[in-house]
Amino acid sequence: MSDTKKNLLGMDQGQLQALFESWGEKPYRATQLMKWLYHQRELDLDKMTNMSKKLRERMATETTIATPVVAERKVSKDGTRKWIMQLADGNQVETVLIPDGDRHTVCISSQVGCMLDCTFCSTGKQGFAGNLDAGDIVGQVWLVHNELLSEGNRGVTNVVFMGMGEPLLNFDAMLSAANLFLDDLAFGLSKRRVTVSTAGVVPGIYKLAEHTDVALAISLHAPNDALREQLVPINKKYNIAELMKACRHYLSGLGDKRSITIEYTLMDGVNDELEHARELATLLRPLRCKVNLIPFNPFPGAPFKRPNTHRVRAFQNYLVDQGFATMLRTTRGDDIDAACGQLVGQVADRTRRAERHRDRIAAREIA
């Protein structure tokens, strides 16, 4: 994470061109390097023989090319794969591949832990230990893509920033990585297939609109401020009205056919009553959006339960009847703790939150 040498993996085309120009090299060196890194999947400078020996030596001295190191790899019975990725500083984050027909979606982490502490998310309970750099973020996709292609499979087709962390609070690294996911010289994915998901960092949404037009997902989880403040504490800073305004602004830059995804984790007896569905429909009416319902995934010490299928269907049906495209996100990979909200990695917590969470579980077990 904090290697003193700049990691070439993770630098986008503009950054690489600037680096080479600062060395007195032509900008097309960036193109050459990117083709090696992402098309040939070659990380060894010695193999990049269309660049002069002198240039390669300079790159070797002043920069590095590094992915995270795979510490563990698990495969779910439903085909979902999860990697525990070790970063240079010893922290670990998790990356998940969700195969679905010929679609290969990678769910990537952007931070070690998370600062936001949403009450229903196990990542938040781990506390926070820092940001990933762009190389760590891109490296996750690089490794998964390389594994898929080496198996003779189609490579990564979709990337979602829905693993550990809040991507908009690690803006610069997130943006360089997103640029590379879109760039034909790297992963060449369409902007609809790269999704940034946020718990509602409103200034980050405006900033995102200035720089890119990737897909945006909002983790909403409640239709009113009173409830959302309890579930998603950042709502105290940026309330629902401000969040909806930011969403409309982002949408205005996307063109008429595209929409925003609203994520809504259903928790039994908490936010899954029909009354909530009604309130949600009213709230979302003016927004071009699709709704993604996620039945709550349990983790140790979680104070919530997953609603039964009947309640989930009733909630979905109400929204569908109201004209909202409403998908039910099927639970994938929960046998290997790879489902939404179950990613924890190994976080050298700086916030002592993990400790407090363990204390709370212990207190509850004693009571």
Contacts with ligand SAH by CB under 6 A lie at 120-121, 162, 166, 197-199, 219, 263, 265, 294, 296-297, 340-341
Cβ-closest position to ligand SAH = 341
Nearer to ligand SAH (CB atom), residue 45 or residue 344: 344
Exposure b/e, 330-350, CB count within 10 A at least 16 = b: ebbbeebbbbbbbbbbbbbbe
Nearer to ligand SAH (CB atom), residue 331 or residue 346: 331
Nearer to ligand SAH (CB atom), residue 65 or residue 270: 270
Write down the catalytic residue from 62, 147, 340, 355. 340
Give me the least distance between CB of 259 and ligand SAH, in Å please: 16
Nearer to ligand SAH (CB atom), residue 133 or residue 263: 263
Give me the least distance between CB of 110 and ligand SAH, in Å please: 8
Give me the least distance between CB of 96 and ligand SAH, in Å please: 11
Give me the least distance between CB of 118 and ligand SAH, in Å please: 6
Give me the least distance between CB of 247 and ligand SAH, in Å please: 13
Write down the catalytic residue from 94, 107, 263, 289. 94
Nearer to ligand SAH (CB atom), residue 7 or residue 219: 219
Whole-angstrom distance, CA of residue 313 vs CA of residue 308: 9
Whole-angstrom distance, CA of residue 184 vs CA of residue 93: 27
Residue (of 264, 262, 175) closest to 214 by Cα position = 175
Active site residue 94: yes
Locate 176 and state its tokens.
């360089």
Active site residue 273: no
Catalytic residue numbers, as ranges: 94, 340
